[in-house]
Amino acid sequence: MFELSATPLEAIDLKSSFADVRAGGYVTFEGWVRNHNEGREVLRLEYEAYGQLCLAEASRIITEAKEHFDIIQTACVHRTGMLEIGDMAVWVGVSAEHRGPAFDACRYVIDNVKVRLPIWKKEYYTDGDSDWVNCEQCAAHGHAHGA
Amino acid sequence: MQKKSFNIQYFAILREQRGCSVEMLESAAVTAADLYAELRAEHGFELGTESLKVAINDAFCDWSTPLQTGDAIVFIPPVAGG
């Protein structure tokens, strides 16, 4: 399951759907908005997503995670819109019989979500400037796509 | 050359540089790369195709994919989720 959410992830009950008598462990990752990036002081962030393609690509990532790792369930929710420092930007959950595959699958999902989903992040800095992350440097130097 | 009609959706830095989210247009472009070159020349987009990906009808595609009339096209700037 993957969802985009325009409202705070903190308000959503993300855990209860993972309850399963077969599960011996449950691993989560929360990505938070931090107050600095690449040496600049960040005031807030804005996420924009291409919804249809996000859902299709995220579905592939989740299917891959289930194929590669011995897990019971995995899900991811990503924010859109304006976020403040400390807000949760992304959430990944994994349940499994044993902790090893749960940790591994959680890492796989977040790593792939970051580089494969068509989601963009605009950082607003304390000096009044703002930048689309990974885009401005590409435009300036002709760097290739990717993380 | 016969022109085809396309529906273009812009996101993030391209949306800001284009000044709109969606446009319908007619073009004789044969491939997605041709269409981007045409739009880049017209609107001065800073990013080149080496920094972008392209999606046609909500699926990632090669730049060399031939375009069909009615295609929905999205040029995808470098992503930064998470």
Residue to mutate among B8, B51, B61, B74, with most A CBs inside 10 A, is B51
Instruction: Find how far residue B9's CA is from the centre of its chain.
Output: 7
Distance from CA of B8 to the nearest CA of A (A): 13
B74:A116 CB<8 A: no
**What pLDDT score was predicted for residue A142?**
54
Residue with tokens 């792939």, as numbered in its chain: A112
Nearest CA to B80 among A82, A25, A89, A70?
A89
Long-range residue pairs from A36-43, CB within 8 A, at least 24 positions apart, any chain: A37/A123, A37/A133, A40/A123, A40/A125, A40/A127, A41/A125, A41/A126, A41/A127, A42/A85, A42/A123, A42/A124, A42/A125, A42/A126, A43/A85, A43/A124, A43/A125, A43/A126
Chain B residues in contact with chain A using a Cβ-Cβ cutoff of 8 Å: 9, 11-13, 15-16, 46-48, 50-53, 55, 58-60, 74, 76-82
CB-based contact A90:A112 (threshold 8 Å)? no
Cα of A47 vs its chain's centroid, Å: 11
pTM of structure:
0.94
Closest CA–CA distance from residue B48 to any residue of chain A (Å): 7
In terms of DSSP H, where are the helices of A14-142?
A: 51-68, 99-116, 136-141
- Interface size A-B, in CB pairs within 8 Å, comes to 95
Whether A145 and B78 lie within 8 Å, measured CB to CB: yes
Please tell me the predicted confidence (pLDDT) of residue A146.
45
Least Cα separation, residue A104 to chain B (angstroms): 17
- The Cα–Cα gap between A8 and A89 comes to 9
Question: Where do the domains of chain A lie, and which CATH numbers do they carry?
Answer: 2-8+20-141 (3.90.1170.40)
Per-residue confidence in pLDDT tens, chain A, 147 aa: 999 999 999 999 999 999 999 999 999 999 999 999 999 999 999 999 999 999 999 999 999 999 999 999 999 999 999 999 999 999 999 999 999 999 999 999 999 999 999 999 999 999 999 999 998 876 666 555 444
**Among A138, A141, A143, the residue to mutate for chain B (most B Cβ within 10 A):** A138
Domains, chain B, ordered by start: 4-76 (3.10.20.30)
DSSP code of residue A11:
G
Q: Which residues of chain B have pLDDT under 70?
A: none
Nearest beta carbon to residue B82 from set A113, A139, A140: A113
